[in-house]
Amino acid sequence: MATGGGGSDTAGWGDYVAQYLSNSSGITVSNQAVAGRSARSYTREGRFDDIASTLEAGDYVIIEFGHNDGGSLSTSDNGRTDCSGTGSEVCYSEYDGVNETILTFPAYLENASNTFKKIGATVIISSQTPNNPWETGTFVNDPPRFVGYAEIAADTADTSYVNHFDYTDQVYEALGADTVDAYFPIDHTHTSAAGANVVAKAFLRGVVCGKLSLADELVTDDLELDEYECLDE
């Protein structure tokens, strides 16, 4: 989630990770999220390649997409929609005057993961975060297909996986409608700074619960690990 992606009052959760890293980790966080991008458009624009050009062995890369990957190629091509399917299926379309071979959502994530792993980076594929689950006044846990697709990509690429959707929904359900509604000042997708911090902590709880190597670099005192149980992955 990109900072300011939903307007000036919204924030990206990646900007709130650094405060939970230990001083001895030596890790600096670079949030490369760009508003409105899908796995497909991020690839087409060369943004994964740009990241790869800056990586060094031992770096961590977190890949999270899904909010902008939906739609159908059967009616019109918005430049973001992926080819349907979970494997090696391809679709063909003309976007912005250029013929494009379109891959599935998992394939884009797998390709990026493999590129980063060849450099020696540790890749974590994270599922998308939920929209406001209290939007109707009743809590609804309804993960879109891209949550499962992200897990498929992680399995195929042999990377770590965090179910960011469920770890975030877990805390949203506990906090209740009034608190969570206040985290969404513009729409049901983009959070405020306070909401972004909650979402960052949810991701890091998933890292700790999954016993990922990144957990060794964290200061966990403020991650509320005693308040929220680990989820089955």
Helix (H) / strand (E) containing 42: helix 39-44
Q: What is the mean pLDDT of the chain?
A: 96
Q: What is the pLDDT of residues 168-211, one digit of tens each?
A: 999 999 999 999 999 999 999 999 999 999 999 999 999 999 99
| Residue from 128, 120, 201, 117 nearest 161 by CA | 128
Q: What is the tens place of the pLDDT at every residue in 129-141?
A: 999 999 999 999 9
Do residues 190 and 4 lie in contact, with contact meaning Cβ atoms separated by under 8 Å? Answer: no
Farthest-apart Cα atoms in the chain, separation: 54
Q: What is the pLDDT of residue 7?
A: 79
Average pLDDT (100-123) is 99
Nearest-angstrom CA–CA distance, 116 and 38? 18
Sign of CA dihedral 35, 76, 128, 86: negative
Residue 143 predicted with pLDDT over 70: yes
Q: Which two tokens stand for residue 42?
A: 């991020």
Q: Model confidence at 70, in pLDDT bands (50, 70, 90)?
A: very high
3-state secondary structure of 62: strand
Burial of 54: CB neighbours in 10 Å, binned 0-12, 13-18, 19+: exposed
| pLDDT tens digit sequence for 11-42 | 999 999 999 999 999 999 999 999 999 999 99
- pLDDT for 170 equals 99
Q: Is the pLDDT of residue 97 over 70?
A: yes
What pLDDT is stored for residue 5 in this prediction? 74
pLDDT higher than threshold 80 for residue 75: no
pLDDT at 155 over 90: yes
pTM of model > 0.75: yes
For the record, the structure tokens of 35 come out as 């508003």
The answer on pLDDT for 52 being more than 70 is yes
**Cβ 199 vs Cβ 168: under 8 Å:** yes
More confident residue, 67 or 75: 67
| Structural domains present in the chain | 13-217 (3.40.50.1110)
Which two structure tokens, joined as six digits, stand for 62?
């977190």
Mean pLDDT of 79-104: 96
Q: How far is CA 130 from CA 123, 174, 198, in A?
A: 22, 15, 12
Confidence class for position 87, pLDDT limits 50, 70, 90:
very high
pLDDT of residue 233: 62
User: Which pLDDT value is given to residue 1?
Assistant: 72
